[in-house]
Structure formats: structure tokens, C-alpha cells
Structure 1
Amino acid sequence: MLNLIKDCVVKNTLKVERAKKNLTQADLAKLIMVSRQTIHAIESGKYVPSTVLALKIAHIFETTIEEVFELEESDWSK
């Protein structure tokens, strides 16, 4: 099961959502209490956030998790 999760690619609109709110990576990181590097890693697809972190991000952008994060189509067939 862990390998399935590890191999999944999660697309996100984090950079777009930040731009809408005029937030830098550092600004968002401070709001959700993580490092700027964590935000960068999420945006670049190198890190998939926990459910709690995804919920915090969605809350900041006043939207749903599904509006910010989405599995690649190919991951549904794994």
C-alpha cells in the first residue's frame, strides 16, 4: 500500500491559488506553520502533503482540497 501512495503523482494549483491571494511561498508557509521549502516541494510535486496540511491549505484559500489537489489520471489505474 505504501508503494502505491509513494508512486502517485498529485497535481496541485498551489502556485495559482497563492497568486490569487498575493501570497509568497514564505507567507503561506507562515500561515500554515511549515517551512518555505515545504511549500516549494508541494508546488513542484516532490512532496504530497498530509491530509491535515492539505486541509489547512484549502482553508487558507477558502476552497476545497479537491480544488487545490488532484491525482493524475494514470494513478486511478494503479
Structure 2
Amino acid sequence: MNIREALADNLRRYRQEHGLSQEELAHRAEIDRTYISALERCVYAASIDVVDRLATALGVEAADLLRKAEQPRQSDE
């Protein structure tokens, strides 16, 4: 999973957990709704400033939006 995919997955998950539409999140973060959609589809790469605005709007740390999902460890068997 690359960083753009991690952002897309985390953004969508946190947005849905907070019960927000893309439009409401965009309004809170003061960015365009279509940009939220593009980020969730990995079309665009967000600047660090946009990541910070999204994190603030969601009430999470910016690092949480960029954290890659932990991959299951493969056994040595």
C-alpha cells in the first residue's frame, strides 16, 4: 500500500465514522467536494497543508490520515 492509498482509505474511514458526507467534510476543511472525492479515489496527491486541514476537520492527527494499515505478518513456517 502506498501513501496515497493509505490517505484514501483513512480519509474515507474517518469521514464515514464521523457520519460526514464528502460535501460536509469539504465545507469543514474549506476545500472543494470534488477534491475530497478525488483524494478518496487516489486521483490526486494531497499537499501537507490539505492533509492538515482534513485532519483538523475530522478531529484526528494528520499522521492518522497517512498511517498505512498494518500488514499481517507472514509466518516463517
- Whether these two folds match at TM > 0.5 is yes
Which structure: greater strand fraction? Answer: 1
Q: What secondary structure sits across from 1:63 in the alignment?
A: coil
Where structure 1 has 5 or more consecutive residues not aligned to the other structure, the ranges are: 1-7, 72-78
Aligned match for 2:24, one of 16, 23, 27: 27
Per-residue displacement from partner, 1:41-73 (whole Å, max 9, x unpaired)? Answer: 1111111111111001111222222211247xx
How many aligned positions are there?
64
Greater Rg by CA: 2
User: Is residue 15 of structure 1 aligned with residue 9 of structure 2?
Assistant: no
RMSD of aligned Cα (Å): 1.6
Any conservation in 1 of the 2:12–2:40 contact (CA below 8 Å)? yes
Unpaired runs of 5+ residues, structure 2, are 69-77
Residue 42 of structure 1 contacts residue 48 of structure 1 at CA under 8 Å; is this kept in 2?
yes
| Percent of aligned pairs sharing the same letter | 20
Q: Could you state the TM-score of these two structures normalised by the residue count of structure 1? A: 0.71
